[in-house]
Amino acid sequence: MSTGFTSIIYRDLLQLLRRRSDIATTVFFFVMVASLFPLAVSPDPVTLRQLGSGVLWVAALLACMLSLSQLFASDYADGSLEQIVLSPHSLSVLVLGKIVAHWLVSGLPMVLLSPLLALQYGMHSHSLLILVLSLLLGTPALSLIGAIGAALTLGVRGSGLLIAVLVLPLYIPVLIFGTGAVTASQTGMSAEANLSLLAASSLLALILAPLATATALRVAVE
């Protein structure tokens, strides 16, 4: 099982690195949204500080969703998805490997870039730390939940829009907890509750999303 899990991660990372434009599009979108927003609002430092966490979280959410349509599409198009489904390994574990690879090339770069982008909003060092921690805890949930939508819309024309319709309502709690953690730290309150809820959301998604995604993939292949 562990061999299949690591092999699928290695395979997907190699494929994604060969399509660097897909990775660049996701990261570039995140950077552009976070960088251009301060130019469109008041230059008042207090206003920017209040809006910073929300802007960065929305940018991360949209950037993650931008890459979801390609999560299973290439495997579905070349027939390798059918071989993955027929593999003796657990499909849920293999699906989890694909989600981990997706997060490594989309979610992790956004986590690493977020402190630099947050400096534009005049956020203090403690708030920066909470922002990075909230993204680190929350972005896995975005990839896990998004994988369900990607599997459900596999092979459907205009799947990008359908994915957005399916997963956006499920993303709202993650968005609220993520921005709430940073806001709490900025007002002098403890961010522990929101971070705990973020971690619980990612843990729940880790348990349920691979099973739901595997079921949807079996239906798509059949």
In angstroms, what CA-CA distances link 154 with 79, 162, 217? 13, 10, 8
Question: How confident is the model at residue 158, as a pLDDT?
Answer: 63
- The overall pTM is greater than 0.75: yes
**Using one digit for the tens of pLDDT, what is the confidence trace for 76-113?**
877 788 888 888 888 899 999 999 998 998 889 999 99
Question: Is the Cβ–Cβ distance between 25 and 66 less than 8 Å?
Answer: yes
Other CB atoms within 10 Å distance of the CB of residue 155 = 12
Q: What is the pLDDT of residues 103-146, one digit of tens each?
A: 998 889 999 999 998 888 888 888 899 999 999 999 999 999 99
According to DSSP, residue 222 is labeled: -
Summarize the confidence of residues 179-184 as an average pLDDT: 91
Strand, coil or helix: what is 165? helix
Residue 155 has pLDDT above 80, yes or no: no
State which amino acid sits at residue 1: M
13 pLDDT band (50/70/90 cuts)? Answer: confident
Considering its fold, how many domains does the chain have in total? Answer: 1
Question: What Cα–Cα distance (Å) separates residue 176 from each residue in 38, 191, 195, 216?
Answer: 21, 12, 11, 28
d(CA 180, CA 118): 16
* pLDDT band (50, 70, 90) for residue 159: low
Note down the domain range covering 196.
2-221
- The candidate with the shortest Cα–Cα distance to 71, out of 125, 5, 7, 26, is 26
Alpha-carbon distances, residue 72 vs 49, 66, 68, 69, 85 (angstroms): 38, 13, 8, 7, 12
Cβ–Cβ < 8 Å for 153, 75: no
Q: Which amino acid is at 42?
A: S
